[in-house]
A and B are shown apart, each in its own frame.
Chain A
Amino acid sequence: MIDSFVQILTNPNFYANVVAVTPPILLAALGCAIAEKSNSTNMGMEGIMLISSLTGVLASYYIGHNNPWLELIVAIAVGGLLGYLVAFFALKLRVDIILVGIAMNLLGSGGTAFFMYVFTGDRSSTNSLQTGTLPQINIPFLQDIPVLGRILSGQNILTYVSYIMIIVLSYLVFKTKLGLRIRAVGENANAAESVGISSVRIKTIALIISGMLGGMAGAFMSSAYVSYFARDITAGRGFIGLAACSMGGANPVPTALTSILFGFFYALSNFARNTGISDNLIKMWPYLATIVGVVIYSIKKTNDEKKRLAGEADEIIKKEHRHSELH
């Protein structure tokens, strides 16, 4: 069995698969991160992905002549709209944002299954509506490099876009006026309000961007991963994205790296089918990895916090001593 794992880990196709399966997790995680930066948890990422994915497929089939590009644009727009909806309920109507997210997830799972049946008469997938996939891109020069070419070239265009999103999000969060305001609102909303920045407005914008990224992740599932929508096609990737965002401290680059780690386990579960391990067990790996990851992260964070507090207490005591020496 060890042999077969060595075989997997030395196979360039395995790494190409890591690159190919990471994007939906990555996009979901980045979406959660931008919302989290404004101190609003977008718990409903999974639901947003599902709804925008199905809407994209239907729009593409019924009005777009099976154009996957239209599918992508519609999915992003619907995602943004759903992000706004979360903001509307949570910030305007003051429903607990976690509850809004849970509602979004339930609606996403049940609602997409229902409407898929209404439109296609099929309960499991929209296989009858073939809307095609976005093109794969061969990158000149890179494709000629052995191993690396096989891993990085020839991926779906949306895959490349999603990795570029890491840079775009980093730039947005750390280099723009909007990013500055998002971080200010997230860290001390009172401070932002006191200089005339509306925290509701900023959070709404962050949630819309979050929803758009979720829409892109949804479109990836049905226009890059496969060419149709299937019931619960996202299979928890929205939640894994949420976990990756939390482990990455909602900062784009660490969040992306965590997403790639989870992508690694997805690919591993894809390739381990022939190792003789039970299929059901293998399918569990990405989720198991998420739980283990989050637990390790929480322990580390708690310890750091303890250390920090201990350090602060020392500082206070030192200060008092200095103070009493002065008098």
Chain B
Amino acid sequence: MDNYLVMENITKVYDNGIMANDHVNFSARQGEIHAICGENGAGKSTLMKMLFGIEQPDHGQIIIKGKPVHLTSPTKAIEEGIGMVHQHFMLVPSFTVAENVILGIEPVKGMKFDMNKAIEMTEEVCKKYGFDINPRARVQDITVGVKQKVEIVKALVKGCEILILDEPTAVLTPQETAELFVQLKLLRETGHTIIFISHKLNEVKELCDRVTVIRKGRTVGVYNVADVTEADISRAMVGVDVVLEIPKDEAKPKENVLVVKDLGVYNDAGKKVVKNVSFSVREGEIVGIAGVEGNGQRELIDSIAGLHVYSEGSIKLLGEEIHGKSIKELRQLGLVHVPEDRMTLGIAGSMSVKDNMIADKLDDERYTGKILNKPKNIKEDTDKWIKDYLVLCKNGDQQVNNLSGGNIQKVVVAREFTSYNRLLICDQPTRGIDVGASQFIRERLVKMRDDGKAVLLISADLGEILNLSDILLVMYGGEIVACFKDVKSITEEELGYYMLGIKKMSEEEIGGALHA
């Protein structure tokens, strides 16, 4: 049955104007494991949110077993036989497995919640589908792998026929992953349809029957997994975009500014996410870091920027170890940071453009006396920066919140670039902003480089990172897997292999990222 589940011409535009899905078509058969692949921001999650009733499409329709359905809430989706295992578990830690499983459909005996029946229901589903879980165990005491099984049982007990798994293996060990796959194949045999969202292509190849590739909110194609190679899928995912090249001269790197050596970082859940990373950034060069999101870049950058504590190895900024230094001390050393999440970390939204630009310079005698600020100097300089950085606003007193995304980013860039700086960390500096502003920020970055600053650039935009970087590192699984010194000669396709962990350079080549 090819039209078991059909999502037809689905279009979704978010309030902020981002078009997450642009006439996406997706269909799944009964009893198949169907992968959805795409880079971060490609629109996979949005599509699945609409299938589970969390978001509603602006256009298009969802048809299940030939019948059009309106999924206005998760409850509706559950009624239609759709279940979802979220990336972040939706479990109550102090409850037992059985209590979590039956939450929402609690059996009762008179006035009392029927615990025995709950355990019975849980055991029944576990037995039927071969899950080995103790229904009486408390969720806070069980491992991540078991928690995931609980989530699947939770969906099955409500009679789910279509199961969505959002990057289920991201939190699992290889053994747990193998076990999960056995179970999913069992579910396929019992006629369940499984939608498997992932960007781990080896897993897709191992587990799935078909794969739908989505890129930039559009369906690129549907393939039988048996007919395509991992390389084919990765090529479809990455695609080739045309970007306006920023003209730049050969870099003339000088002394080391940032030296990262044998760095190891654990995330908040205690998992080691950065492993043995070494590289350096010199004056007058742009070092780019590419990689699929969730491969340790976040923690690496946060560690360098002083936002995350690292436990192994060293990070030296201008020869000084930064461990234990406050962000203020780091900034005094010359570190500036254009953060990825500009709305939370980059600006104070309800404050004015002027206040945001001056916020980090209030120790400067030019702007503050012993007690009072010096409004004349502040206004003079911020007005100049507004002009220099082409910030479109009425005047410096306008609230930052009222500006467009691109102009907000220019405010952040203006503040950071006008501070004392030796090392610039730019994290997704042009994500989600218009072409003009992107172009302007890229030109600025090159200009800073030519002025002898060290620039560390992280970007999901491959065109951008290939254009700007003088040295390009690729991260996969928390490690640096590639170091390109001749960025011009790399093709996007080749870069894709490294980003998806299909290829890895030799230790020696990777070691070239660190300049003694």
Contacts and interface: CB of A to CB of B under 8 A. Distances in A.
A195 interface: yes
Q: Is the interface of A mostly helix, strand, loop or mixed?
A: helix
Contact of A193 (B74, B84, B99): B74
Interface in B98-117: 99-100, 103-106, 108, 111-113
Interface residues of B, number: 29
Given A180-B103, A197-B104, 20 more contacts: A175-B112, A176-B113, A177-B106, A177-B108, A183-B94, A183-B95, A184-B95, A184-B103, A188-B91, A188-B92, A190-B90, A191-B90, A191-B91, A191-B103, A195-B74, A195-B104, A195-B154, A196-B78, A197-B103, A316-B270
Contacts of B272: 320
B86 A194 contact: yes
30 contacts: A175-B112, A175-B113, A176-B112, A177-B106, A177-B113, A179-B113, A181-B106, A184-B95, A184-B103, A187-B92, A187-B94, A187-B95, A188-B90, A188-B91, A190-B88, A190-B90, A191-B90, A191-B100, A192-B103, A193-B74, A194-B74, A194-B90, A195-B78, A195-B103, A195-B105, A195-B154, A197-B103, A197-B104, A315-B270, A316-B270
Contacts of B89: 191
A191 to B, nearest CB: 4
A319 interface: yes
Ranked 4 nearest A-B pairs via Cβ: A195-B104, A196-B75, A316-B270, A191-B90
A180 B270 contact: no
B432 interface: no
Chain A contact-residue range equals 20 to 34
B266 interface: yes
Contacts of A195: 74, 78, 90, 103-105, 154, 158
Interface in A178-237: 179-181, 183-184, 187-188, 190-197
Contacts of B369: none
Q: Is the interface of B mostly helix, strand, loop or mixed?
A: loop
A175 to B, nearest CB: 5
Contacts of B90: 188, 190-191, 194-195
Interface string A23-66: 00000000000000000000000000000000000000000000
Interface in B49-105: 73-75, 78, 84, 86, 88-95, 99-100, 103-105
A320 B272 CA distance: 9
Contact of A180 (B86, B88, B99, B111): B99
Contacts of B154: 195
Nearest to B270: A316
Interface in B260-294: 266, 270, 272
Interface of A: 175-177, 179-181, 183-184, 187-188, 190-197, 312, 315-316, 319-320
A191 B75 contact: no
Which residue, B75, B105, B154, has most C-beta atoms of chain A within 10 A? B75
B266 A184 contact: no
B507 to A, nearest CB: 17
Contacts of A180: 95, 99, 103, 106, 113
Contacts of A176: 108, 111-113
Contacts of A191: 89-92, 100, 103
Nearest to B79: A196
A256 B92 CA distance: 25
Nearest to A324: B272
Nearest to B53: A196
Contacts of B266: 316
Contacts of B74: 193-196
Which residue, A188, A191, A197, A312, has most C-beta atoms of chain B within 10 A? A191
A36 to B, nearest CB: 14
B75 A184 contact: no
Contacts of B111: 176
A188 B88 CA distance: 12
A143 B457 CA distance: 82
Nearest to A186: B92
A192 B270 CA distance: 26
B143 to A, nearest CB: 10
Nearest to B77: A196
A265 B266 CA distance: 50
A1 to B, nearest CB: 47
B414 to A, nearest CB: 34
